[in-house]
Amino acid sequence: MSARYTGLIERYRDRLPVSDDTRLISLGEGNTPLIKLNYIPKLTGKDVEIFVKYEGLNPTGSFKDRGMTMAVTKAVEEGSKAIICASTGNTSAAAAAYAARAGIAAFVLIPDGKIALGKLAQGMMHGATVIQIKGNFDDGMQLVKEVAEHAPVTIVNSINPYRLQGQKTAAFEIVEELGEAPDYHCLPVGNAGNITAHWIGYSEYACQLGDTVTEACALCEGECQYTNVVVCSKRPKMVGYQAAGSAPFMRGEMVDNPETVATAIRIGHPQSWDRAWKVKEESGGWFDECTDEAILAAQKLLAEKEGVFCEPASATSLAGALADIESGKIPEGSKIVCTLTGHGLKDPDTAIKQSTAPMVTVDATLDAVRNAILSNMPD
């Protein structure tokens, strides 16, 4: 193997549905940093280790690239000339970029006025046909399913099984880096594709390690090449957090008019509903909800005190974890991974709106600039 990193399909080829002749559509996705937090764990006053998996450092700035490299690779292999998705923004950005890379067309349905500016720019810049609908993500998803029956397009939302196959590799990377699975893995939940994909990844990895027999992973459903081994080592408890105004897993039913500042997870009808409940049961985890205020506070804390800038939806994983650490639901001594699903630059409007950092406009003189420095110097 060459030293040059060429993307997650190449790296995990033996665990993904590709053959030797498959033409890989890749932008070098995956291999993202797992950053150990310094300040925030101390702030909790509890003895916990928190790592963030910074998925915002994928090529288009979100974890969607992991799934999209697989979905577009398989679409091209199967002869497809066009892909389609509904999106709250990140899926559309990834679809547009990977379609451009492959030389095929992308059609993206987005909720009119409700996606972050950076994501809109990406879809447009990569040459996708951007269709804004006067409805929300859930309306778009319904339309995509219907139109795909009448037009020669491949759906690349996470109902496309190759998406989750690509996304499961994030769990592989975490286990390899930590030496074993963490105790808790916290994620923001929208359609619940990513929490499902991580569980598949952890389960496959655990099976492959071949420790003691405990249980079969129900999620493999016979598909996994390791099912016959039926052995599992440590897997984390999976914890999914939703925005309070958009929390069907907390309500126990679909939500028709989801609202949250975290537009990426403004989803009321999750596509992986049954699978996510199974993940919760199998892993011994849970779902919870976070207010928009708690989400934005966690985003700001990460940016100001750790130097890590993620988008609001991503900070939901940390906001939820902090609440559960405080209550003791996540006990002391735990090793916790929070996935930061997307980059903060995706949504500059929300960032600037909530920023309280001092910004001053002064005359272009030495005196004025020196005064600005001295009056903002930390004590």
DSSP states along 100-127: HHHT-EEEEEEETT-S-HHHHHHHHHTT
Do residues 134 and 64 touch, judged by C-beta distance below 8 A?
A: no
- Asked whether position 122 contacts ligand AN7 by CB under 6 A, the answer is no
List, in sequence order, the alpha helices (H) in the chain: 8-11, 39-44, 64-77, 90-102, 117-125, 137-147, 161-167, 169-178, 193-209, 248-251, 273-283, 292-301, 312-327, 348-354, 366-375
Contact letters for ligand AN7, residues 281-320 (x by CB under 6 A): ------------------------------x-xx------
Contact letters for ligand AN7, residues 48-87 (x by CB under 6 A): --------------x------------------------x
> Smallest distance from the beta carbon of 115 to ligand AN7, in angstroms?
8
Q: Which residue of 26, 58, 88, 350 would you call a contact of ligand AN7, by CB under 6 A?
A: 88
- Amino acid letter, 174: I
Distance CA 327, CA 272 (A): 29
- Tell me the window of 18-26, 146-154, 185-193, 200-208 that interacts with ligand AN7 (CB under 6 A): 185-193
Q: Which residue of 91, 122, 203, 299 would you call a contact of ligand AN7, by CB under 6 A?
A: 91
Shortest CA distance to 89 belongs to which of 67, 122, 59? 122
- Asked whether position 263 contacts ligand AN7 by CB under 6 A, the answer is no
- Asked whether position 190 contacts ligand AN7 by CB under 6 A, the answer is yes
- Amino acid letter, 257: N
Q: Which residue of 118, 320, 342, 344 would you call a contact of ligand AN7, by CB under 6 A?
A: 342
Please say which residue, 258 or 342, places its beta carbon nearer to ligand AN7.
342
Six token digits for residue 252: 């126990």
| Chain-centroid distance, C-alpha 274 | 19
Distance CA 59, CA 96 (A): 12
> Smallest distance from the beta carbon of 119 to ligand AN7, in angstroms?
8
Please say which residue, 57 or 229, places its beta carbon nearer to ligand AN7.
57
Please say which residue, 242 or 334, places its beta carbon nearer to ligand AN7.
242
Six token digits for residue 60: 């288009």
Residues found near ligand AN7 in the complex (CB under 6 A):
62, 87-91, 158, 188-194, 264-265, 311, 313-314, 341-342
